[in-house]
Chains A and B, each alone.
Chain A
């Protein structure tokens, strides 16, 4: 593209403005996590008067953060794993077969994006309560309730993204594998899945991020037993104190793994997203 003076100015105005907009909250999060409680309770300071790492120690005892962390980790990992397995089979069927009801399936899958979460939330909550009374399987207040909710929640978009990715893998590769004596499942396992690794990674990131950050269902379906980070981070406020420094420290700690993972794998994510979007 030709570089003109005005486009040069435009670029730097945009980049500087967006950098400030993006960075200020991150800066506040990092610096406030290193302030003592007295400082975050007084007027705001751009630079900590006293630097302390005590909030990073205290945050584990003010609320049972470790247990929230474990709950989030188990729920998000299980939801990601289950949805990935189910999505792989469904996406393979959508991508490689022309069958009756295929269009109905794909349209329905995408239209679930439209439905407001609150519409599912109330009935799902009631159904879970009733299942508990009828057959004694407890779902509200357990990790399983959340896992089931989350993996079905991310499933439609995962199928859509993966099917787009599978479409980009030449069918001749499957056919060759079938000729070599393996059935369709063999072709899926030995040919399609290895070739679709970036797509699988993208879908896994999407599922994990969505489950890790989910607030609506977590706020209703969790009790002390299965509290996840999404709800747990809001418990640093007591009647007398809001431990802003510990909240910032905890926010930072729960963000770092997921941000690093996303940034390392972002190219896969973009590729997976566009594979679905251009279809």
Chain B
């Protein structure tokens, strides 16, 4: 196969001129075909992602309220006013945004950290061969495969104050003293949303880490075991370094998904009541825009969120690249 290619390739390149039909058939293929193949993807990405994003940035400079929805090009230009309002932390809008930002930071650290720990623990626990391994592997992937609203809505039922499974277990089965608390209203909402988000996310960490572990040969472990390394030592000095490429992608993706998480608070709390403790930033912006119909302010907050994510991602990628270079 490859010999034929080697013979034909240079030969075709050497004589483009003599046969007029040949270059028409061969040379164009060299350049326009990839662009033609990409065209549909590029056109739709431009139309549905790039144009709305630029529009969003433009809207953030407008006083776009419900009066201008139908003809938003006539909304008055207000410069940076939306940004000033969003970043004035003494005003109610800015204070709400800041509170939501801190909630989201805490939420993201807990959810990404614990999902990674659980995913890693499961991937390592299922690394060796034992009876029932395939069954657990499949079972652990179910929360990820479940349509997300189906999983979250079940948790919503479990977190009900008087009819839910959580309070029944804690207060009726375990006999905790005191009254059954609310989980979806008030400060407990934070813990409720953290648990639900971890339940959904950790199988993804497990999936990626499990796939990463498959690329480490068992000989490395056997050699270190001969040298007397204990399992924890093996994990620290073999597994963790070998998984670094997977981890660097995995942590970034999990961070972005979790920080932008809208679905969990939306399904868990509904759009009418948002407990401050579970007011994640996407959900906050959504409510600020669609409940008050103030799109200009919502767009400004979205742009601020995007800028924050850009900066964090940029710093993260630089740090990862530097570590890889030093290593």
Instruction: List residues of chain A with CB under 8 Å of any chain B CB.
Output: 1-4, 6-7, 10-11, 14-15, 18-19, 21-26, 28-29, 32, 40-46, 86-87, 89-90, 92-94, 96-97, 99, 102, 105, 108-109, 112-124, 126-127, 129-130, 133, 148-149, 151-153, 155-156, 159, 172-173, 175-176, 179, 183-184, 209, 212-213, 215-216, 219-220, 229-230, 233-234, 244, 247-248, 251-252, 254-255, 258-259, 262-263, 266, 270, 273-274, 277-278
- CA A96 to CA B146, docked complex, whole Å: 35
B262 lies within 8 A of chain A by Cβ? yes
B window 79-120: CB within 8 A of A: 118
CB distance from A63 to the nearest CB of B (A): 13
Residues on A with beta carbons closer than 8 Å to the beta carbon of B249: 277
Residues on A with beta carbons closer than 8 Å to the beta carbon of B302: 116, 118-119, 122
B window 6-57: CB within 8 A of A: 8, 29, 31, 33-35, 37-38, 40-42, 44-45, 47-49, 51-53, 55-56
Residues on B with beta carbons closer than 8 Å to the beta carbon of A122: 56, 59, 289, 295, 298-299, 302
CB distance from A207 to the nearest CB of B (A): 14
Instruction: List residues of chain B with CB under 8 Å of any chain A CB.
Output: 1-2, 4-5, 8, 29, 31, 33-35, 37-38, 40-42, 44-45, 47-49, 51-53, 55-56, 59, 69-70, 72, 118, 121-122, 124-128, 130, 136, 138-151, 153-155, 157-158, 160, 162-165, 167-168, 172, 199, 207-208, 210-212, 215, 218, 221-222, 225, 230-231, 234, 245-246, 249, 253, 256, 260, 262-263, 266-267, 270-271, 282, 285-286, 289-290, 295, 298-299, 302-303, 305-306, 309-310, 313
From B56, B130, B146, contact of A11 by CB (8 A): B130
Contact across chains for A116 and B298 when beta carbons are under 8 A apart: no
Contact across chains for A123 and B199 when beta carbons are under 8 A apart: no
Q: A122-B56, A215-B266 are in contact. Are A44 and B163 (CB under 8 A)?
A: yes
Q: Which of A93, A112, A220 has the most CB of B within 10 A?
A: A93
CB distance from B47 to the nearest CB of A (A): 8
Residues on B with beta carbons closer than 8 Å to the beta carbon of A216: 262-263, 266, 282, 286
Give me 5 other A-B pairs in contact (C-beta within 8 A), A15-B126, A117-B262 excluded.
A10-B124, A10-B125, A176-B4, A277-B211, A278-B215
Residues on A with beta carbons closer than 8 Å to the beta carbon of B144: 262
Q: A28-B158, A124-B48 are in contact. Are A118 and B298 (CB under 8 A)?
A: yes
Contact across chains for A129 and B70 when beta carbons are under 8 A apart: yes
Contact across chains for A124 and B263 when beta carbons are under 8 A apart: no
Contact across chains for B153 and A247 when beta carbons are under 8 A apart: yes
Contact across chains for B52 and A127 when beta carbons are under 8 A apart: yes
CB distance from A122 to the nearest CB of B (A): 5
Chain B contact residues, majority secondary structure: helix
**When A and B form their complex, what is the total count of cross-chain residue pairs whose Cβ atoms lie within 8 Å?**
297
CB distance from B176 to the nearest CB of A (A): 15
- CA A183 to CA B40, docked complex, whole Å: 20
CB distance from B149 to the nearest CB of A (A): 5
Residues on A with beta carbons closer than 8 Å to the beta carbon of B2: 172, 175
CB distance from A42 to the nearest CB of B (A): 7
Q: A179-B8, A258-B145 are in contact. Are A120 and B49 (CB under 8 A)?
A: yes
Contact across chains for A11 and B125 when beta carbons are under 8 A apart: yes
- CA A90 to CA B34, docked complex, whole Å: 8
Closest 6 CB pairs of A and B: A262-B145, A123-B55, A44-B168, A93-B37, A97-B34, A152-B48
Contact across chains for A4 and B143 when beta carbons are under 8 A apart: no
CB distance from B24 to the nearest CB of A (A): 13
Q: A4-B231, A97-B34, A118-B289 are in contact. Are A277 and B168 (CB under 8 A)?
A: no
Contact across chains for A127 and B41 when beta carbons are under 8 A apart: no
Q: A43-B168, A229-B149 are in contact. Are A126 and B69 (CB under 8 A)?
A: yes
Question: Can you report 29 residue pairs joining A to B where beta carbons are below 8 Å apart?
Answer: A6-B231, A10-B231, A11-B125, A14-B124, A19-B139, A22-B143, A28-B157, A43-B162, A90-B38, A92-B37, A114-B309, A115-B306, A119-B56, A122-B298, A123-B299, A127-B55, A130-B70, A130-B72, A133-B70, A173-B1, A176-B5, A213-B148, A216-B262, A230-B147, A233-B149, A233-B150, A248-B154, A254-B150, A274-B212
